[in-house]
């Protein structure tokens, strides 16, 4: 779907959990998104320390922004949600 929108001239953004693959050809950018803020895997929790983010490489328990791995401060989601919509991509 994103590929078709991109081909039609739309700027595409994906934000959320990506569970469609990690190999070349399967990432958000490869699937047609101009920008992506993605949680790349599974097997972790945002709410307790059972398996903290970023600790099990095989589970891809980390976020990426436009394909680059990023770390997040504890209040990241709250702070981003309070920003005006036109600043969300900064």
11-52 pLDDT, tens digit each: 899 988 888 887 889 889 999 999 998 887 766 655 655 555
DSSP-derived pairing of the beta strands 68-70 and 13-17: unpaired
Does 90 score more than 70 pLDDT?
A: no
Q: In this predicted structure, what is the pLDDT of residue 60? A: 63
Give the list of residues 6+ apart from residue 90 with CB closer than 8 angstroms, or none: 83
pLDDT reported for residue 28: 92
In whole angstroms, how large is the CA radius of gyration of the chain?
Answer: 14
Q: What is the mean pLDDT of the chain?
A: 77
Most confidently modeled range among 3-7, 55-59, 84-88: 3-7
């Amino acid at each position: 779907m994103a590929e078709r929108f991109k081909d039609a001239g739309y700027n595409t953004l994906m934000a959320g959990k990506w569970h469609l693959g990690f190999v070349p050809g399967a990432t958000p950018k490869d699937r047609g998104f101009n920008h992506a803020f993605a949680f790349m895997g599974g097997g972790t929790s945002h709410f307790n320390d059972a398996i903290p983010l970023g600790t099990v490489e095989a589970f891809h328990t980390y976020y990426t922004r436009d394909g680059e791995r990023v770390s997040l401060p504890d209040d990241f989601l709250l702070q981003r949600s309070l920003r005006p919509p036109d600043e969300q991509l900064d």
